[in-house]
């Protein structure tokens, strides 16, 4: 099965933001892994382009004090007020009211 280059790029972005946020918070991979309840080796993979499981996103954001929208998109909520991303992640469209 061929890899989707958009998915690969999206995961790489999440991995980079995750690592940067952890380092900026002064936390180690071991601390992160313990808080999330995963092996340190598994957590290290999340920082190196393995997909972060959805159930861990709220825990990561809580521990690091960051917004989940920023972790997933690299954008702040204020930049996207009134818009949601399309499934393809290309063009935002107005949110339903």
Residue 5's pLDDT band (cuts 50, 70, 90): confident
Sorted by where each begins, the domain ranges of the chain are: 5-94
Q: How many CA atoms lie within 13 A of 27 on its CB side?
A: 21
How far is CA 64 from each of CA 9, 22, 31, 77, 85, rounded to the nearest angstrom? 23, 7, 11, 17, 24
What value does the mean pLDDT of the chain take? Answer: 81
pLDDT tens by residue, 6-40: 888 889 999 999 999 999 999 999 999 999 999 99
Question: What confidence score (pLDDT) does residue 82 get?
Answer: 54
Check residue 83 and give its pLDDT: 53
Paired tokens of 3 = 């890899």
For residue 76, what pLDDT is reported? 77
- Has residue 67 got a pLDDT over 60? yes
Fold of 5-94: 434 Repressor (Amino-terminal Domain) (1.10.260)
């Amino acid at each position: 099965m061929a890899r989707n280059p958009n998915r690969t790029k999206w995961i790489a972005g999440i991995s980079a933001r995750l690592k940067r946020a952890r380092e900026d918070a002064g936390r180690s991979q071991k601390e992160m892994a313990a808080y999330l309840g995963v092996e340190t080796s598994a957590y290290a993979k999340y920082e190196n382009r393995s997909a972060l499981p959805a159930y861990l996103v709220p825990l990561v954001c809580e521990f690091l004090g960051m917004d989940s929208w920023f972790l997933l998109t690299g954008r702040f909520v204020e930049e996207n007020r009134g818009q949601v991303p399309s499934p393809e992640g290309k063009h935002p469209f107005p949110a339903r009211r």
